[in-house]
């Protein structure tokens, strides 16, 4: 029984780009990166055209990176207070 279509290696690489936040952002980055990775894997498994899937994944990766930066900045400011 196959739950979903298997992804090609390049699809896994593109989908897992947000996990780089785990290295750069520790626990906070890892959590946000994991959420982005799960969303990207869902996008990659969709029936959308290849170019659109890649664009959506890259866009989502940039978005989660910006969210991580904003949350980290706010957290840093709160800890200084």
Tokens of residue 67, six digits: 């969210």
Task: For residues 5 and 67, give the distance between their C-alpha atoms in angstroms, rounded to a whole number.
Answer: 30
The count of structural domains within the chain is 1
In-domain check, residue 46: yes
In-domain check, residue 66: yes
In-domain check, residue 4: no
The alpha carbon of residue 71 and the mean position of all alpha carbons in its chain are separated, in whole angstroms, by 15
Burial (0-12, 13-18, 19+ Cβ within 10 Å), 59: exposed
Over the stretch 42-56, which tens digit does the pLDDT of each residue have?
999 999 999 999 999
In-domain check, residue 22: yes
Over the stretch 22-33, which tens digit does the pLDDT of each residue have?
888 889 999 999
pLDDT at position 4? 80
In-domain check, residue 2: no
Does residue 60 register a pLDDT over 90? Answer: yes
In-domain check, residue 23: yes
What is the H or E stretch that residue 24 is in? helix 20-44
């Amino acid at each position: 029984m196959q739950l979903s279509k298997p992804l090609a290696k390049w699809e896994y690489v593109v989908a897992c780009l947000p996990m780089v936040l785990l290295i750069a952002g520790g626990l906070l980055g890892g959590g946000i990166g994991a959420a982005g990775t799960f969303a990207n894997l869902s996008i990659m498994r969709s029936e959308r055209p290849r170019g659109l899937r890649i664009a959506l994944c890259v866009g989502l990766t940039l978005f989660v990176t910006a969210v991580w930066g904003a949350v980290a900045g706010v957290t840093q400011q709160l800890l200084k207070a």
